[in-house]
Structure 1
Amino acid sequence: MTNENRDQFRPEDHPNDHFLLTTVVGSYPKPKWLNRAKELYEDDDHEFDDEDWNEATDDAARLITAEHERAGLDVVVDGEMRRTEMVEFFAHRIEGYEFNGPVKVWGHNYFDKPSVVSEVEYDESWLVDEYEFTAGAATRPVKVPITGPYTLANWSFNEAYSDEEALAYDLADLVNEEIEKLVEAGARYVQIDEPALATTPDDHAIVGECLERIVDGLPEDVRVGLHVCYGDYSRIYPEILEFPVQEFDLELANGDYEQLDVFKDPEFTKDLALGVTDAHVAEVESVEEIEANIRKGLEVVPPEQLVISPDCGVKLLPREVAYEKMANMVEAARNVEEDLDAGEIDLGERATPADD
């Protein structure tokens, strides 16, 4: 059984009959020199200008894209080298937002929480230049992560709309406009990040309506995934199966797969992008450990519906640790494919893929 939407990202020289697509959630550690370059760029006493900063971010994007390919990933990103915090980056590009200074969120961490002060509007493209540059630097397909409208609304001060729901729907229309431009530029794999859903699971219906707006008019071959960070998934499952996406990217390694059974009944009818390395632990899991984690995913879905990724963005890890996690993850996926080809894995009741 094939999965055409997923298999369009299968490399031509893939070594095994089975194919477990490997990718990343999005963020990746920035090179230390890029952080230093940012300090110079933001320091008025230095003559480090826009041209210098653009050159630095271009170089970093090339470097990390190549690092993802060196690790063997089937679908890559640039590690979000040009992005700051996941809401702040987009709020700076959406008409209707403004910033009033950092807000303390925990410990010594601050978040430049924006305010919506007027009706949000689409101005210039947010990510098309980033995508085109990365696609030009890559030899593998490129995924585009986008912070979802529900999180963009939930993690902002609302000073212009009657409620957060109305704001989220307007933002969803803007995300749809952006994705249409990305598709025109050649993008075929988009991931909507909705970490706020993990903390407010009762709003899953709002997220569902946002996604309906986001996918409106998109070609069938465009793959849309939804990433939801660690939370009580039983509060959104099976309702999320109604969402109009092909893939759910879930953070399960962090909780030692204690919630795996949540997704076994009723049957998981979408593709599962399974977190198989813990993005919060600065220790590299062995290939054998990751293989065991991948096999847990096969308890939920057949191979045709399984995607392999880290739990979440890995930007807070040491860069060498992040790389080794990705490299081991790819090696583990290829090993499991070989075992599947050899018939050494008993798929049991999950051997029959879900109907489309």
Structure 2
Amino acid sequence: MLTQNLGYPRIGSHRELKKICENYWAEKTGYKNVLQVGKNIRHDNWLMQKDAGINIIPANDFSFYDHVLDHSLMFGAIPKRYNEVIMKKGNSELDLYFAMARGFQKDGLDVVAMEMTKWFDTNYHYIVPEFYKDQPFKLFSTKIIDEFYEAKQLGIITKPVLIGPISYLLLGKEKETGFEKIDLIKNLLPVYLDILTRLDALDVEYVQFDEPFLTLDLGDKEKKAFEYVYKEIRKTFPRLKIVLATYFGGLNNNLDLTVSLPIDVLHIDLVRGEDQLNDVLAALSDKTILSLGLVDGRNIWKNDFEKSISIINQAVEKLGKDRVWIAASCSLIHSPVDLGNETNEKNLPQEIKQWLSYAKQKVEEIVTLKKLVNNETSASALQKLEENKIAISNKKTSALIHDVVVKERVLALKDSDAFRLNTFSKRKVKQQKLNLPQYATTTIGSFPQTVEVRSWRAKFKNGVITEDEYNDLIADETAKAVKWQEEIDLDVLVHGEFERNDMVEYFGEQLKGFAFSKNGWVQSYGSRCVKPPIIFGDVSRPKPMTVKWSAYAQSLTSKHMKGMLTGPVTILQWSFVRNDQPRAETCTQIALAIRDEVCDLEKAGIKIIQIDEPAIREGLPLRKVDWQTYLNWAVKAFKISASGVKDETQIHTHMCYSEFNDIIQNIADMDADVITIETSRSQMELLDAFADFNYPNEIGPGVYDIHSPRVPKREEMVKLLQRAKAVIPAEQLWVNPDCGLKTRGWDETKKALIEMVSAAKEMRKDAEILIPEQHISN
């Protein structure tokens, strides 16, 4: 019996990757230093897994920004607009790579970034490949070969990891009409064969092909492509051992296809697809090895050893030990790095910490399970089993977890609690009293969190400054932001959120049922790392969370100040969620807590309240058959959070990096008065779904990309607004960036927002101002 790992976090145990990349982008360090830090992280990861006892260790799971972008560069799938970046003297392959991810605005060049979206139903973002009809591919980057050789120099024979060719194509987007992306498979496969030829020459034994689309709904073309690709690979490389990794769900109706493929090892996710084991065991061919994804790669709870051992024994009884491997459910990039870095008892008490497992500990769990199944009676293995039993038992019975009052409040909910008093058409008439202009301008909520602002929070938490001193600093920064917004003539202002660390963590810190790590960082995109809260128990709101700062900011201006909240689905999705009750129940508990906050903001005189739900599309199950159940409870949770206010109070929501076409009716069912969405990277393509549907409420399509450091020009934003106006009536349109501005610098933020306000005013020049009769009568 062997153990394998599908992938390991690449950020470094102390976010070394984030720090070196951001210093490089700021031109504070050189190219060689970036490469060296990357090399150090890879070496540490490989050696740690080897020392822990993992038999099959992955390579090419490291990335400086995103593994999908790595593949686009490797295959030469580089959009033509980056040609000038390639040719610019002094630019390296790494500069080209970062330009594709972040855009490039330097030395007279101004190139927009590639589109970004969510990696299946996770909070990880990937860079979307761009495809054109008859597109050629070629081996452009040899990263995968270089890193295998690098590990070999350390004495470690690794398993190179590739996104499978079908999944890579399905992750991309057709940038012109007249073809389907899957049609490019015959152009792409030769590059895979070229890579495998080079790896074969280095005596590679195993190659891992990640094909998560096998857990999704597939059409006939995609199924035929799977058969074609893997037959060609097997025919060309009869000696190579192919590991086919599926994850994020069960194979279900793709099981027969999958087991028919000429592969050596099939990996299945038994966390997200726990019911598939019997079917897979029955269908598996006589020789194929089965890799059991038992340790949860997407959550931080300890593995239940007794349960896992029972599953392993079931597989061994059918297949024999030689045909069973033990692994995590998916790559560990979705897990924090090392629980050993958690030393803060205040935020993460030992009673909760004993229930947790980070990536390093998950690797150890995989190895321990192998030892226990092999009946190793070493003191260490037996001690770990006993500790595991105690932790699992304690978690089930802990008084920290259950709150009777919260459970009773959920049970007492009525259908009417999920509906506003009147329909949007009636609310809109009353909201005319807000006196907002056509093409009203606003931002999504946050302003730059400078090094100085973050230092104040650190000093306060470490006791260097008092709470009063900290609050005075935040108040002064808020006042400056309000004044500046007035100066550039924004219509609806925000307070800037300088007191907040993260849009989910900030709320979790003030809600019961949450715990917090000090170093539980996971990669969201590029250098952006987040520290998800840990929902371990029933959730409630002991006291108001945001009213103080929103009311203070409103007192500084006669313009409307938006109250800024994170919605229940996003708090759920972007947290590590308890696994002992349905997610829908936990989400409803959070919704009630947010509802209380919304009502208190209204009482404090805040007339516009934004409840962000960027993760609602992300939470959609991968199989359509499961969609409606999720959408029913997710939409209801949002409506519970938003429906306790008067018609005059305008409710906004925000969503980003999502494809809306399939769930547009459900988004309309959320019944937010205004929705703001990301559309800039897609050049307003995402707006088509709202236009085709005839979306009834108001909408703010993001007019510039905040995930790129480039500053867009007014003319660029006007063109985007004109595209929006062509499909959405002008009276429904708002003007805003596509996301919050927390990660940007003040210089670029100010320049971009000034251009944005100017663009809105230009649009108003030609707009016919219509005053509804209802408004006149008021």
TM-score (norm 2): 0.41
Question: What pairs with 1:135-154 in structure 2 (closer than 5 Å)?
Answer: 135-154=554-573
Who is 1:117 aligned against?
536
Name the structure 2 match of 1:320. Answer: 747
Match of 1:130 among 541, 544, 549: 549
Task: Give the 3-state SS of the residue equivalent to 1:103 in structure 2.
Answer: coil
**Unaligned 5+ residue runs, structure 2?**
1-424, 621-626, 771-778
Matches within 5 A, 1:57-76: 57-76=474-493
**Partner-residue secondary structure (3-state), 1:178:** helix
Query: Partner of 1:78 in structure 2?
Result: 495
Once the two structures are TM-superposed, the CA of residue 5 in structure 1 deviates from its matched residue by: 5.2
Q: Structure 1's 163 and 142: CA in aligned 2 closer, same or farther, altered over 3 A? A: same
2:692 corresponds to which residue? 265
Aligned to 2:58: none
Deviation at 1:96, TM superposition (A): 1.3
2:573/2:619 contact within 8 Å kept: no
Partner of residue 651 from structure 2, selected from 221, 224, 232: 224
Checking the alignment, whether the CA contact within 8 Å between 1:253 and 1:277 is kept in structure 2 is: yes
Please, which of 713, 716, 724 is the counterpart of residue 286 of structure 1? 713
Q: Is the 8 A contact 1:27 1:313 kept in 2?
A: yes
Deviations 1:100-156 (A, max 9, x none): 443232266543322222211220101110111111122311011211101111222
| Shift in alpha-carbon separation, 1:257–1:138, aligned structure 2, 3 A | same
Which of 140, 165, 169 lines up with 2:588 in the alignment?
Answer: 169
1:104 to 521, 525, 529: 521
Contact 2:639 2:671 survives alignment (8 Å) = yes
Structure 1 residues 209-218 or 168-177, which shifts more?
Answer: 209-218
Cα distance in structure 1, aligned partners of 2:769 and 2:655: 34
1:184 positional shift = 0.6
One-letter code aligned to 2:684: Y
- Quote how far apart the aligned CAs of 1:217 are: 3.2
Q: Which residue of 1 aligns with 2:445?
A: 26
Residue of structure 1 in register with 2:434 after alignment: 9
Shift in alpha-carbon separation, 1:301–1:293, aligned structure 2, 3 A: same
Q: Is the 8 A contact 1:250 1:274 kept in 2?
A: yes
Is the radius of gyration larger for structure 1 or structure 2?
2
Identify which of 604, 628, 639 aligns with 1:185. 604
Deviation of the 1:301 alpha carbon:
2.1
| Mapping for residues 299-338 of structure 1, pairs under 5 Å | 299-338=726-765
Contact 1:241 1:269 in 2 (8 A): yes
Take 2:727 and 2:580, find their aligned partners in 1: how far apart are those partners?
Answer: 41
Q: Which has the higher contact order (CA 8 A, sep 6+)?
A: 1
In structure 1, the partner of 2:675 is 248
**Paired position in structure 1 for 2:454:** 35
Map of 2:511 onto structure 1: 94
Greater CA deviation, 206-215 or 32-41?
32-41
Report the residue type matching 1:19 in the other structure.
Answer: Q
Query: Alignment identity in percent?
Result: 24
Do the aligned partners of residues 123 and 262 (structure 1) sit closer, same or farther apart at CA in structure 2, a change above 3 Å counting?
A: same
Deviations along 1:80-100, one digit per CA (max 9) or x if unpaired, are 111111111000111111124
Change (3 A) 1:327 1:6: farther
Q: Give a deviation string over 1:44-101, Cα, whole Å, max 9, x none.
A: 5x4x221211111111111112122222110001111111111110001111111244
Change in CA separation of 1:5 and 1:254 when aligned onto 2, cut-off 3 Å: farther
Counting matched residue pairs gives: 335
For the 8 Å contact 1:274–1:309, the answer to whether it is kept is: yes
CA positional deviation for 1:37: 2.6
CA deviation vs aligned residue, 1:318-347 (integer Å, no higher than 9, x gap): 21111111111111111111112399xxxx
In structure 2, the CA distance between the partners of 1:309 and 1:7, relative to structure 1 (3 Å rule), is: farther
Aligned to 2:467: 50
- The separation in 2 between residues aligned to 1:108 and 1:304, in whole angstroms, is 38
* Partners of 1:10 and 1:19 within 8 A in 2: no
For the 8 Å contact 2:493–2:559, the answer to whether it is kept is yes
Matched-pair contact (CA < 8 Å) for 1:117–1:158? yes
Q: CA deviation at 1:309?
A: 0.7
Within 2, Cα distance between the matches of 1:4 and 1:308? Answer: 21
Give me the whole-angstrom Cα distance separating, in 2, the residues matched to 1:307 and 1:148. Answer: 21
Q: How many angstroms does 1:161 deviate by?
A: 5.2
Instruction: Please state whether the residue corresponding to 1:317 is helix, strand or coil.
Output: coil
2:532 touches 2:574 (CA, 8 Å); kept in 1? Answer: yes
Map of 1:15 onto structure 2: none
CA distance, structure 2, for counterparts of residue 219 and residue 62 of structure 1 = 28
Q: How much has 1:221 moved relative to structure 2?
A: 0.6
Q: Which residue identity does 2:504 align to in structure 1? A: V
Change (3 A) 1:114 1:303: same
Amino acid at match of 1:27: S
Name stretches of at least 5 consecutive residues in structure 1 with no aligned partner.
12-17, 344-356
Structure 1 contact 275–309 (Cα < 8 Å) conserved: yes
Task: Report how far residue 305 of structure 1 moved.
Answer: 1.0
Q: 1:205 Cα deviation (Å)?
A: 2.9
Are residues 155 and 33 of structure 1, via their aligned partners in 2, closer, same or farther at CA, if it must alter by over 3 Å? closer
Relative to structure 1, the CA distance from residue 293 to residue 59 in structure 2 (aligned partners, 3 Å threshold; closer, same or farther) is same
More helix by share: 2
1:207-254 per-position Cα deviation (integer Å, ceiling 9, x unaligned): 310122123331001111121111112232133112221111110012
Query: Which range moves more in the overlay, 105-114 or 194-203?
Result: 105-114
Write the letter of the residue equivalent to 1:241: A
Deviations 1:246-304 (A, max 9, x none): 11111001222222322221211111112111111222211111111111221232122
Distance in 2, matches of 1:117 and 1:126, equals 20
